[in-house]
Chains A and B, each alone.
Chain A
Amino acid sequence: MAMIDLNGVSIIFPVYNVSARSFKKDFLRMATGGSVVEDAKHRVVVHALQNISLSLRDGDRVGLIGHNGAGKSTLLRLLARIYEPALGYAKIEGRVSPMLDITHSMEDEFTGRENIAVRGAIFGLTHQEIQEKIAEIADFSGLGDYLSMPMRTYSSGMFVRLAFAIASCIEPDILLIDEVFGAGDADFMEKARKKMVTLLNQSNIVVMANHADDVIRQFCNKAVYLEGGQVKYFGDVNTAFELYKEEL
């Protein structure tokens, strides 16, 4: 049982340039009675998401469509609870697995096994569960004994395979995917695709951002068309694509 309710959610990003971030500038502004204000006013604010209202329930497979910078990744991070709404109301229920950047926090000096332990703990698995997953991950990634080697000895393909294997061994209620299809070589890609399909079917709610149209057409039953941080359309996948193509 999972649910996502967004009601009028906005996310406002401060972009700190070097001068705005420095304590000296704030201090100077105070000390000089505001004469450096122009400098401090260079603070840039990005309205990354504006007034988003969405309601997702079990069985929803949602594709996010939009140009670069339309807010796809920001929306995924909102759903992952990494960003909290600056305005509006968000209710997200269910265990979330954010497959955003699957190689994050992988440590080169550690062995594959140690990395599995750390990542597993972060995702909330118990020691017991991690031990069970290790065999599964070893098998799926095809790394075998390499799991006992430091990750700096891995080729980039092996690195991605392990990262994918770890990220995909979590069985979430809500699955968030940012461009992770197609990891590794052709052989593995096929395997990864199959795994993703299983994962998609297991999850109650899936939200994915992908540049390849066919992936969204194949797996999603709904689509969100984002433009400039706003939802232009939410509903049927084909209609969303038509609207998107018209813009181009």
Chain B
Amino acid sequence: MVMQTEPDLLGVQHVDVDVCDRMEQSIDFRLQSRQSDLAWVDIKEGLTHWRIWLLLAYQDIKLRYRRSILGPFWITLSMAITVYSMGFLYGHLFRTDLNQYYPFLVAGMLAWAFISTVITEQTEAFIGAENYIKQIKLPYTLYIHRIVTKNIIIFFHNILVMLPIYFIFHESIKINFYTLLLIPGFLVLYFNAMTYGLILAMTCARYRDVSQLVKSLIQIVFFLTPVMWSPAVLPPNKQFLISLNPFYSFLELIRAPLLGVAPTFFHLAIVLGATILGAFFAMRLFVPHRSRIVYWL
């Protein structure tokens, strides 16, 4: 294990503006490349320490359901109660064909539950791991992996809710070849949950208000994204507005395969764009500020 850090002016920059001003002329490209090496080491070690985050993710779930009889199947049960009753209520409220609407809503809710929980929990990724970060050196990306993995495990508990739907509504949805697209879909989502998670975890560790802001915004996004309602109910001249919502496209990565169809190329294009943006901004934040995270806690 070797750690080499040469004068890190980028780090100082956030600490003490005066120090930075004095030293500005000596900023050297070599120093920045040192920080980017350390960031890559963090990312690489985050992957090689998979045993730790897998264990922590597993323990997080176990901890929550300790001493309850159903254990983690409470996740499935509470999801089932929510989506089945919502499906019934909104199906009648919107006066839609339940054969279409019920599977659409349940699959959409499963996807949304994954996306929204990852987002809200990532805001606490570093704050919640304070006692680890301050006591032992582990890669920062490890705590981001931990939350994504935990939610993937939860998703695969929740997916059981779909089984009765496949059975009851077997005429309108099917398990077919397209269902397998869940796997690449999750790979893409994992990557994005990492990059956007890193951005959120860092921002929220530094600015504690952002965490609250994100939690309230995500509620609004839920209504703005076609989870409960189908985009088809919108007038045709308004539909383009919804297609600009990237949450919709990410949602489709899970919902479409669950309903036995492929996500459209349009959604894939939006996802690709968002993925590149996320990776770019995550690195822009992580490289210069990585070594400061511990001081924000």
Task: Tell me the A residues contacting B by CB distance below 8 Å.
Answer: 12-14, 16, 21-24, 26, 43, 45, 77, 80-96, 98, 100-101, 104-105, 107, 109-110, 114, 117-118, 121-123, 127
Contacts and interface: CB of A to CB of B under 8 A. Distances in A.
Interface string B224-252: 00000000000000000000000000000
Nearest to B16: A45
A153 B48 CA distance: 35
Contacts of A93: 1-2
Closest 3 CB pairs of A and B: A23-B207, A84-B291, A81-B137
Nearest to A89: B6
A123 to B, nearest CB: 8
Interface stretch (B98-106, B126-134, B187-195): B126-134
Interface stretch (B55-63, B72-80, B152-160, B175-183): B55-63
Q: Which of B7, B19, B131, B136 has the most CB of A within 10 A?
A: B136
22 contacts: A12-B12, A14-B15, A16-B296, A21-B208, A23-B210, A23-B213, A26-B207, A43-B16, A77-B134, A82-B137, A84-B5, A85-B5, A86-B12, A86-B15, A89-B5, A89-B7, A104-B131, A105-B135, A110-B59, A121-B51, A121-B52, A122-B136
Nearest to A47: B16
A77 B56 CA distance: 23
Contacts of A114: 59
B5 A95 contact: no
B207 A81 contact: no
Contact of B1 (A86, A94, A118): A94
A118 B55 contact: yes
Given A45-B16, A87-B8, A121-B55, A105 B131 contact: yes
A114 B63 CA distance: 11
A93 B4 CA distance: 10
B207 A22 contact: yes
Nearest to A11: B295
Interface string B204-227: 001111100100000000000000
Q: Which of B1, B11, B66 has the most CB of A within 10 A?
A: B1
A43 B291 CA distance: 19
Contacts of B134: 77, 82, 104
Contact of A13 (B19, B135, B295): B295
Contacts of A92: 1-3
A90 B207 contact: no
Contacts of B92: none
Contacts of B291: 84
Given A24-B209, A118-B55, A45 B136 contact: no
B295 to A, nearest CB: 6
A82 B136 CA distance: 6
B47 interface: no
A84 B12 CA distance: 11
B41 to A, nearest CB: 11
A201 B160 CA distance: 55
Given A16-B296, A21-B208, A83-B294, A90 B136 contact: no
B4 A91 contact: yes
A207 to B, nearest CB: 15
Interface in B33-79: 38, 51-52, 55-56, 59, 63, 66
Contact of B8 (A26, A85, A110, A117): A85
Given A109-B66, A118-B59, A121-B51, A89 B4 contact: yes
Given A82-B137, A104-B132, A118-B55, A12 B3 contact: no
A80 B3 CA distance: 10
A107 B58 CA distance: 14
A80 B137 contact: yes
B279 interface: no
B283 to A, nearest CB: 18
Contacts of A100: 135
A110 B59 CA distance: 9
A85 B6 CA distance: 8
Nearest to A108: B63
B138 interface: yes
Contacts of A88: 5-7
Nearest to A119: B136
A98 B66 contact: no
B170 interface: no
Contacts of B284: none
Given A82-B136, A104-B131, A110-B59, A90 B209 contact: no
Contacts of B209: 22-24
A94 B1 CA distance: 6
Contacts of B294: 82-83
